[in-house]
């Protein structure tokens, strides 16, 4: 019984304790070498690249200069490989190659090469976008930290019932394992716990799904605006970005929309081929058509609004998730707490049986 109580207490401490902060030790990470590269480091690299190019250096010269100045790590290896003419997406380490920021950088450079857009300006806008995306991701993690922690704690509620019963002097675990009524309670409690786990996992996943974009939609708008700065019409700018994107549904949608624009289809109709995340492109094109406004400027404004609006959106989603977690708690986890903790504790304290006597009439 003491061992079981200690096990329950250990699990409770693991659930309630905050996640430990990982601090690299000299034995784990070589001196001067960063363990990983985040969006802010990548944004700083892209901004430095834009600064060197704006001073008159070519792209390879700028990469070579960065390769000499950066500390040892992933970004230095990337700069040195890119200085020899390698595509950043292929030159990056295996970890960086899977990130959205490398796909964005590679796509931006490909758009500049295809359209003749000013590379320094394109990269500076990309650096600003990466910083905004980092801030939005931080806001998302902060907003969902509370509901995720709540779900994690609630999932331990049935096990907490066992621990409570042991602290009260009962032996609910023995009763659950050795009696027919206890076996039935155990199966019921475990089934309800599994249902609550599945239900909460589904709610969290629906509220905070994994990102599926290789290049963020707001960055795609920035790239189209950069292509427009080179003097291209909208149809060719959209086609250039669609061709530079990694293969996928978004690239296909942009190319389909570009073909419609090239054929003379109005922007409002051509935009129907775009996914919902890129609907701002069609709206901005319609606005520019009707007013003569600078479309590149309108697109950049829409891209900034799209990134900044995410912080407000995630706050709403996180608040809704916190409310919805009440359902699996009340309908699955609390009954499991009663089945695994309260009822077997009472039965064990009463000697393993519960008898009912008819009332006197």
User: Does the residue 184 lie in any domain?
Assistant: yes
User: Does the residue 267 lie in any domain?
Assistant: no
User: Does the residue 219 lie in any domain?
Assistant: no
Q: What is the pLDDT of residue 211?
A: 67
Q: What is the pLDDT of residue 99?
A: 83
Instruction: Count Cβ atoms below 10 Å from residue 348 Cβ, excluding itself.
Output: 23
175 and 44, same structural domain? no
SS3 content of the chain, % helix, strand, coil (to 5): 75, 0, 25
User: Does the residue 10 lie in any domain?
Assistant: no
Q: What is the pLDDT of residue 223?
A: 93
184 and 48, same structural domain? no
Domain final position from 61, 78, 98? 98
HEC string of 133-164 equals HHHHHHHHHHHHHHHHHHHHHHCCHHHHHHHH
- 288: nearest Cα among 273, 271, 305, 306: 271
Give the pair of three-digit tokens for residue 348.
Answer: 């064990």
Instruction: Count Cβ atoms below 10 Å from residue 214 Cβ, excluding itself.
Output: 20
Domain that holds residue 174: 145-210+319-352
Q: What is the pLDDT of residue 124?
A: 93
323 and 206, same structural domain? yes
User: Does the residue 334 lie in any domain?
Assistant: yes
**Who's near 249: CB < 8 A, 6+ residues apart?**
275
User: Does the residue 284 lie in any domain?
Assistant: no
User: Does the residue 120 lie in any domain?
Assistant: no
Number of domains in the chain: 2
User: Does the residue 85 lie in any domain?
Assistant: yes
Q: What is the pLDDT of residue 237?
A: 92
Return the DSSP state at 29: S
CA dist 285 and 235 (Å) reads 11
197 and 340, same structural domain? yes
pLDDT per residue of the chain (361 residues) written in tens, 0 to 9: 444 444 444 444 444 444 443 333 333 334 444 446 778 888 899 999 999 999 888 889 999 998 888 888 888 888 888 888 888 888 888 888 888 888 899 999 999 998 988 989 999 999 999 998 888 888 888 888 887 787 777 778 777 777 777 777 777 778 788 888 888 888 988 898 889 889 888 888 888 776 666 888 899 999 999 999 888 899 999 999 999 998 888 889 899 999 988 888 888 888 887 888 888 888 888 888 778 788 889 999 989 888 888 777 888 888 888 888 888 888 888 888 888 878 888 887 776 554 444 444 4
């Amino acid at each position: 019984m003491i061992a079981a109580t200690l096990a329950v207490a250990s699990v409770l401490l693991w659930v309630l304790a905050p996640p430990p902060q990982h601090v690299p030790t000299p034995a784990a990470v070589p001196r001067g070498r960063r363990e990983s590269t985040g969006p802010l480091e990548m944004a700083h690299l892209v901004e430095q690249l834009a600064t060197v190019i704006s001073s008159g250096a070519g792209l390879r010269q700028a990469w070579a200069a960065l390769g000499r100045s950066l500390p040892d790590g992933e970004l230095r290896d990337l700069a040195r490989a890119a200085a020899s003419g390698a595509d950043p997406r292929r030159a990056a380490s295996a970890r960086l190659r899977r990130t959205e920021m490398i796909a964005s950088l590679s796509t931006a450079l490909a758009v500049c090469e295809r359209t003749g857009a000013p590379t320094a300006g394109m990269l500076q806008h990309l650096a600003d976008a990466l910083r905004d995306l980092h801030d939005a991701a931080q806001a998302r993690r902060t907003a969902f930290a509370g509901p995720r922690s709540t779900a994690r704690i609630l999932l331990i509620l049935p096990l907490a019932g066992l621990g409570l019963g042991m602290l009260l002097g009962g032996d609910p675990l023995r009763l659950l394992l050795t009696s027919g009524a206890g076996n039935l309670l155990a199966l019921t409690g475990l089934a309800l716990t599994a249902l609550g786990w599945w239900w909460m996992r589904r709610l969290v996943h629906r509220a905070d799904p994994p990102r599926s974009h290789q290049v963020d939609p707001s960055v795609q708008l920035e790239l189209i605006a950069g292509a427009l700065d080179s003097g291209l019409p909208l149809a060719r700018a959209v086609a250039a970005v669609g061709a530079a994107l990694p293969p996928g549904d978004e690239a296909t949608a942009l190319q389909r929309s570009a073909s419609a624009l090239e054929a003379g289809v109005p922007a409002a109709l051509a935009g129907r081929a775009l996914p919902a995340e890129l609907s701002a492109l069609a709206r901005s094109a319609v606005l520019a058509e009707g007013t003569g406004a600078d479309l590149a400027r309108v697109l950049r404004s829409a891209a900034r609004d799209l990134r900044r609006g995410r912080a407000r959106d995630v706050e709403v989603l996180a608040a809704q998730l916190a409310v919805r977690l009440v359902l699996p708690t009340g309908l699955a986890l609390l009954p499991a707490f009663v089945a695994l903790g309260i009822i077997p504790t009472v039965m064990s304290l009463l000697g393993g049986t519960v008898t009912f006597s008819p009332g006197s009439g």
